[in-house]
């Protein structure tokens, strides 16, 4: 490189560490008098939100929280949870959001593994924390959020969020990280098997995710965002940071049950929300038949599980402009998107929904997506048939797993992050997941995608939820077993379900056994297949 160009180094004027904190700092002045939050009676402007975050961060520092300390939070989607996404990083600490639906044992494991210095929790989780501390054999300091708008237990003699906030200096200044590679948050994987792993995010990734999401959804300064995606999950797909960058209006419901979602849509003219396919399904089921579609359509990101085509089709009819996105905890949330292609306009509604059920192409800020064999490093052909593993490279990828160098090295093998998802690559470069690698069923030497079989089951009128797992079979090694939750007021027999599948699937893909009953799901709406596998081994 030529020396005159090289001689020009970085300076304070031209190099600022990338951090989502900068977006709130800007929102404080640029969007200062605009509404940031609506939560029942609570209305706050961006200047108010930013001021509270600066002050809370100062309170944390005064309280002894140091750079790189872990602050764990167990809070539903209420305004405080958004604020903590800024105030904790502004203090220099790392935000560890804990899934609010976890059992005490796992919460105890996370608090211990994360080296938590302080917990901030909604009082609804007081018992949970007490149990977790019992398992842990020690207490950790807790700051309580008492939510007046919810039916939560009263606060104890512990410090409450609002009093703690007041201990901070109202004129405290913003504090950016010294280095954009610094940790901003710690998110534990849902741990469908074994112990959850602690995924560490960096400020750089949070900043870029924010811009990339605004660019591609797209959102504007007129966005009215309904907070549904749990902020404990990939930091709400990094949406809090994106929303600050455009000074959007955010609507909170605490508990996103269908009636509250419909209410928010009607009263606040919601333009955007994200949610798992299960949220869409609940909305579909709660919609009144005579209802007109929402207009203008609401832009929806769905992720967490591949949405069955039937759900995409019905969502569209309701006025939801759904785009499937895909990602993992390790990738800051969504990194691929099923961008609509003009040529799909000529397809039937059913074919369109099939297309939209692909995971698609990389986000603008993702560097590259491959489908390859992890052991050989070879890409699969773009034939839509050959399976490989999705591997990605780019800036919205975790720093690594907290205190787990071996898992980090394995995940980053050969310069790629290996997702563990089995997929095919279509000739238009769209990726389509066939399964979690460990969920693939191998029957008589043939791979069966459980997602494909589930997609067929969802088309049956009586099926509310469906999951396919492998059961051992003497001749074929494994065969598919279907677990089915029936829709209220509907009925079906095992034989009917199997016959329905035979009409739409190759024989070897057709379930050989059907079990009716409730299907266990994680807090994010993912079906817990490891529980079903356990059940299946006993049928």
Residues that bind a copy of itself (CB under 8 A): 1-2, 4-16, 18, 22-23, 26, 29-30, 32, 34, 67-70, 94, 115, 181-183, 200, 205, 208, 211-212, 214-215, 218, 220-221, 245-246, 339, 342, 361-362, 364-367, 392-395, 397-400, 402-403, 405, 408, 411-412, 415-417, 429
User: Strand (E) positions, 3-140?
Assistant: 35-39, 42-45, 70-74, 94-97, 116-122
User: Would you say 246 or 250 has its CB closer to a copy of itself?
Assistant: 246
Compute the least distance from the CB of residue 337 to a copy of itself, in Å.
9
Phi and psi torsions of 33, nearest 5°: -95, 10
Residue 32 beta carbon to a copy of itself: minimum distance, rounded to whole angstroms: 8
Which residues touch 299 (CB under 8 Å, ≥6 apart)? Answer: 217, 219, 271, 272, 321, 323
Which one, 68 or 153, has the nearer CB to a copy of itself? 68
Q: Report in angstroms how near the CB of residue 409 gets to a copy of itself at its nearest.
A: 9
Residue 469 has which token pair? 């797992």
CA dist., res. 63 & res. 143, Å (int): 12
Closest separation in Å from C-beta 43 to a copy of itself: 15
Closest distance to a copy of itself from the beta carbon of 40 (Å): 24
| 451 and 433 Cβ atoms separated by less than 8 Å | yes
Strand runs labelled E in 60-195: 70-74, 94-97, 116-122, 142-145, 183-188
Tokens of 60: 């944390």
357-386 b/e (C-beta count within 10 Å ≥ 16 → b): bbbbbbbebbeebbbbebeeeeebeeeeee
Closer Cβ to a copy of itself, 4 or 503, answer by number: 4
For residues 403 and 411, the answer to whether their CB atoms sit within 8 Å is no
Q: CA–CA separation, 108 vs 114, rounded Å?
A: 10
The per-residue DSSP string of 348-365 comes to -HHHHHHHHTS-BEE-TT
Tell me 58's DSSP state.
Answer: H
SS3 489: coil
Give the residues across from 145 on adjacent strands: 122
Q: End-to-end CA distance of the chain, in Å?
A: 67
CB nearer to a copy of itself: pick between 57 and 448: 57
Displacement of CA 401 from its chain's centroid (Å):
17
Q: Please, which residue, 183 or 497, has the CB nearer to a copy of itself?
A: 183
Q: Return the number of the residue (303 or 323) whose C-beta is nearest a copy of itself.
A: 323
CB of 209 to a copy of itself, least distance (A): 11
Min separation Cβ 172 and a copy of itself, Å? 17
| C-alpha distances out from residue 469 to 119, 151, 294, 481, 515, Å | 38, 39, 37, 5, 11
> Nearest approach, Cβ of 245 to a copy of itself (angstroms)?
5
Kind of pairing, strands 320-328 and 298-302? Answer: parallel
| Nearest residue (CB) to a copy of itself, 20 versus 480 | 20
Shortest distance in whole angstroms from residue 361 CB to a copy of itself: 5
Q: Which is nearer to a copy of itself, 388 or 525 (CB)?
A: 388
The neighbour count for residue 74, using CB atoms within 10 Å, is: 26
Cβ 429 to a copy of itself shortest distance, Å:
5
Q: Which is nearer to a copy of itself, 86 or 402 (CB)?
A: 402
In the bound state with a copy of itself, the residue whose beta carbon lies nearer, of 66 and 317, is 66
Nearer to a copy of itself, 345 or 405 (CB): 405
Backbone angles phi, psi at 126, to 5 degrees: -60, -45
Report in angstroms how near the CB of residue 294 gets to a copy of itself at its nearest.
20
Give the containing element (helix H, strand E) for 303: none
Encoding tokens for residue 327?
Answer: 């990602």
């Amino acid at each position: 490189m030529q020396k005159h160009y090289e001689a020009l180094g970085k300076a304070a004027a031209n190099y600022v560490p990338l951090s989502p904190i900068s977006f709130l700092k800007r929102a404080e002045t640029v969007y200062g008098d605009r509404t940031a939050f609506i939560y029942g009676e609570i209305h706050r402007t961006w200047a108010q939100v930013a001021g509270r975050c600066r002050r809370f961060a100062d309170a944390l520092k005064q309280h002894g929280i140091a750079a790189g300390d872990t602050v764990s939070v167990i809070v539903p989607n209420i305004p405080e949870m958004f604020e903590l996404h800024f105030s904790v990083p502004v203090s220099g600490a790392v935000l560890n959001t804990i899934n609010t639906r976890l059992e005490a044992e796992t919460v105890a494991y996370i608090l211990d593994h994360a080296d938590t210095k302080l917990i901030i929790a909604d009082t609804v989780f007081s018992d949970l924390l007490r149990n977790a501390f019992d398992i842990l054999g020690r207490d950790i300091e807790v700051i309580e959020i008492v939510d007046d708008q919810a039916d939560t237990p009263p606060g104890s003699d512990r410090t409450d969020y609002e009093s703690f906030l007041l201990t901070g200096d109202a004129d405290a200044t913003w504090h950016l990280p010294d280095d954009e590679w610094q940790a901003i948050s710690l998110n534990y994987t849902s741990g469908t098997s074994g112990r959850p792993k602690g995924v560490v995010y960096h400020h750089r990734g949070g900043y870029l995710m924010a811009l990339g999401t605004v660019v591609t959804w797209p959102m504007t300064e007129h966005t009215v965002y309904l907070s549904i995606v749990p902020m404990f999950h990939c930091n709400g797909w990094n949406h809090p940071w994106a929303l600050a960058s455009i000074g959007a209006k955010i609507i909170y419901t605490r508990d996103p049950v269908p009636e509250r979602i419909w209410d928010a849509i009607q009263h606040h003219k919601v333009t955007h929300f994200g949610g798992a396919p299960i949220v869409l399904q609940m909305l579909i089921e709660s919609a009144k038949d005579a209802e007109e579609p929402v207009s203008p359509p609401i832009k929806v990101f769905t992720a967490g599980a591949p949405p069955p085509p039937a759900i995409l089709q019905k969502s569209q009819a309701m006025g939801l402009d759904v785009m499937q996105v895909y990602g993992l905890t390790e990738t800051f949330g969504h990194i691929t998107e099923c961008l609509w292609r003009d040529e799909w306009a000529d397809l039937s509604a059913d074919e369109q929904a099939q297309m939209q059920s692909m995971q698609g192409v990389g986000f603008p800020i993702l560097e590259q997506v491959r489908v390859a064999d992890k052991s050989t490093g070879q890409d699969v052909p773009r034939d839509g048939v050959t399976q490989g593993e999705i591997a990605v490279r780019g800036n919205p990828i975790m720093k690594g797993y907290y205190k787990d160098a071996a898992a980090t090295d394995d995940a980053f093998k050969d310069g790629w992050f290996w997702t563990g998802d089995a997929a095919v690559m279509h000739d238009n470069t769209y990726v389509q997941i066939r399964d979690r690698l460990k969920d693939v069923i191998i029957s008589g030497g043939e791979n069966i995608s459980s997602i494909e079989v589930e997609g067929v089951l969802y088309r049956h009128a009586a099926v509310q939820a469906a999951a396919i797992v492998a059961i051992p079979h003497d001749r074929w090694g494994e065969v598919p077993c279907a677990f089915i939750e029936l829709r209220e007021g509907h009925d079906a027999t095992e034989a009917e379900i199997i016959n329905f599948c035979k009409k739409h699937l190759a024989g070897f893909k057709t379930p050989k056994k059907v079990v009716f009953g409730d299907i266990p799901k994680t807090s994010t709406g993912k079906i817990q297949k490891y529980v079903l596998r356990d059940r299946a081994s006993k049928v």
